[in-house]
Structure 1
Amino acid sequence: METALIGLLGVIVGVFINEILRRKSRIESYASRVFDKRLEIYEGLYERVAACSEIANNVTSNEDYSFGERLIAVSDGVHSIVEWCDIYNMYLNDEIVVHCCPLLMGMEDVYDLEDEAEKKIALERFYKNLRNAKEMIRKESGVEDINKLFSKITKAKHSSPIIKYYREKKKRGNRD
């Protein structure tokens, strides 16, 4: 009787372990495909976010634009990001979406600000949020970690006066 119970228990434990291993194997087989798809989607988001810099520059410095033209340019930029995020919502981190979608909002008003200090603050806030969005996308997509891994493997030591200045600014947390 004991032998039968031990045998039955062994079969049950074996089936349980087999199921766990099968699920883990299935997840690993999809991981590569999902990673590739996510990378492609985050590349598209990065392109749209990077385009915000040119849009912001145009609407805040081009005196030929009317308010309506600035509003249309900003709206087009925002809609481009929002539509991309809606289509690929399944693969995107919600917090990154929440940060990226409103990046340009309010930039149409900056040109008309009377106070130059206020303009400067608005532009600094925009460019800081833009840098943060790019960093978040690089981190979430896995590109930042892969670049660090490649740097460790190649052990490349880049040096120039510009790189030195960049490293000093980065150390202070002020990457302008």
Structure 2
Amino acid sequence: MYDGTVATLFFYLFAASSIALALGVVLGRRLLRSAVCLIGVLGSSAGLILVLGFEFIAGIQVLVFIGGIVVLLLFAIMMTSEGHTFEQRPSAARRVVGGIAATAFFAVTLSVYWNTDFPLVSKEGLAVSHEDVHAIGRKLLSNERDGYIVPFEVISLLLLAALIGGIVIARKHDPEDI
């Protein structure tokens, strides 16, 4: 797709933007801005996947995560947030617990990275054909024993229930007043 220099340039561009936006998600004081930074992180990771030559997986990343889950998260934030939600200041105890958890996660990630042998695989052996894409689509939409339509529908109902629950919790008046 690209020659080595351009692919390397795009890799570093997407990696740097992913790191910067991830810091925006974690360090942002406003919930809506953090959610928008999360969209950028997922878009940058889709760009990294695209640079690696896996166009189908990058498209799925954009459709499922950015197009579905994060947009639902944004709707939930917009519909349920009050003014005090947008600027949260966690207590010192929460900051300490969060710092310990983040440090532990970072240590485990580095340990796995250093102790894993990453074999090189040729891109030709991983090519996806037109028939493979159709087979994946049929499998995702199949209601037979080996299909995945039921888990997707259950997850969509769970997300809908969570959204409705968030709206009910954020109501400014009691349901008896209606």
TM-score normalised to structure 1 length: 0.29
Greater Cα radius of gyration, structure 1 or 2: 1
Greater fraction helix: 1
